[in-house]
Homo-oligomer: A and B are copies of this chain.
Amino acid sequence: MDEALFGIWVDGEPCRTLAAADRGLMYGDGIFRTMVMRGGRIVAWPRHYRRLAEDCGRLAIVPPPLAILERDLAAVAAQGKDCVVKIVVTRGVGGRGYRPPAAPRPTRLVVAAPLPEYPAAYGEAGVRLHLCTLRLAAQPRLAGVKHLNRLENVLARMEWSDPDIPEGLLRDTEERVIEGTMSNLFMRRGRRLITPDLSRCGVAGVQRERILELAPRLGLRVEVGSFAVDELLAAEEVFVCNSVIGLWPVRSLEARQWPKAEVVPELRALLESSDV
């Protein structure tokens, strides 16, 4: 998000800086969500807000009230541009060392940036994945939460620089496939759609949740489970997803090629036609 930003709001005010003593900086003590705004509305906003509030709850941070965030989003919408919106909520300033203050005042940050321009081929022919060597650590207390401790993702993303590879595949220390560095992942076997269990590590994105909910309308059986790379390579179709990229078929991983996305196009159409 270093490109020409459309704006940053801190606690509702246009502002490009934050208190240096904020716990978000000092400890990564906060959460975030990344969303798309189209025509002045955040796609799947009620679900994003629910997940934001749940993630705050996992860290015992009081989430900003819905009405407050909607006022912030109205300021973004007033710019009249479709954009990526990132909301960050931190526990705010203060406390003695790691111990939070008795009555924290959370900080909220809203960042609006241009929609990224990915090659159209990523959504059609699909993407190549890098198989990351970094393994995600298992921390059930933080698993699933979109929190600000993202050094694993940064280190994983630094593993490759080939501009034709937009995403990397992350495993945990037990060799289970977990997610992409910035996306969730699904594999298809016949009419079964399987996505990794995220109870030990990984980030449970809103797009993954929408797919789990909507895919049965296409006659797909959805499952959350554990599987290794070998099983992934044996799948008939693989794709990654997040709220910004939508769905990207995976066209290759290591020596395996998947020539054609089969359910991705209809699943994408379903997701785009729904505001669930």
Contacts and interface: CB of A to CB of B under 8 A. Distances in A.
Given A20-B8, A111-B21, A155-B141, A98 B182 contact: yes
A273 interface: no
A55 to B, nearest CB: 12
Contact of A98 (B91, B138, B181): B181
Interface of A: 1-3, 5, 8, 10, 15-29, 32, 59-60, 88, 90-91, 93-101, 109, 111, 116, 134, 137-139, 141-142, 147-158, 173, 181-182, 201
B111 A29 contact: no
Given A26-B88, A27-B151, A99-B158, 9 more contacts: A2-B94, A16-B20, A17-B20, A28-B28, A28-B148, A29-B154, A59-B154, A98-B154, A100-B158
A3 to B, nearest CB: 8
Contact of A100 (B18, B88, B154): B154
- This chain: copies in complex: 2
Contacts of A148: 25-28, 151
Contacts of A98: 150, 153-154, 156-157, 181-182
A26 to B, nearest CB: 7
Given A18-B20, A26-B150, A150-B27, A96 B111 contact: no
